[in-house]
Amino acid sequence: MPSQSEKAARFAALHDRDCFVLPNVWDFASAGMLIDEGYDVIATSSAGVAFAQGFPDGEFIGRDRMIDFAGRLAKRFDVPITVDLEAGYGSAPDDAQRFGPPLALGLSDVTLKIVSPARRPCLIVTWLLPVLPQG
């Protein structure tokens, strides 16, 4: 199984291509099927993951449950995983709160939706998580 650093480097290298497909998954079966089809990276679908676990979309699943699910995907599969953390699950989470758990779980990327005061997405921002030194 590749390390988080290796997965993050592979994900970063995909951005050097003209384009690449980032398929969204909602459970382990959908992830496995897409990886078997040859995709180089997979992303969580915030709505799909929430619906598959019995929650409506819009951060009702909770930050910890979403990060836990994505972390389990990262441990199970050898491709880079990017997690959709909706609007960050809070009014003003700091960088450590936002990125520490996903990085520790082996994820390669975090996507946040910047929302208007009415909680409507108005901008989507993605951060490549750093490649950690080996050791």
pLDDT for 105 equals 61
Which whole-number Å values give the CA distances from 89 to 12, 20, 52, 60, in the listed order? 25, 28, 19, 9
Between 34 and 2, where is the model more confident? 34
Of the candidates 47, 118, 108, which has an alpha carbon nearest to the alpha carbon of residue 74? 108
In this model, does residue 134 exceed pLDDT 80? Answer: no
- Residues 103-113 have pLDDT tens digits of 556 666 666 66
Contact 114, 122 (CB under 8 A): yes
- Mean pLDDT, all residues of the chain: 76
Quick: pLDDT tens for 9-49: 888 888 888 888 889 999 999 999 999 999 989 988 889 99
Domains and CATH numbers, the chain: 4-128 (3.20.20.60)
The answer on pLDDT for 66 being more than 50 is yes
What does R_g of the chain's alpha carbons equal in angstroms? 14
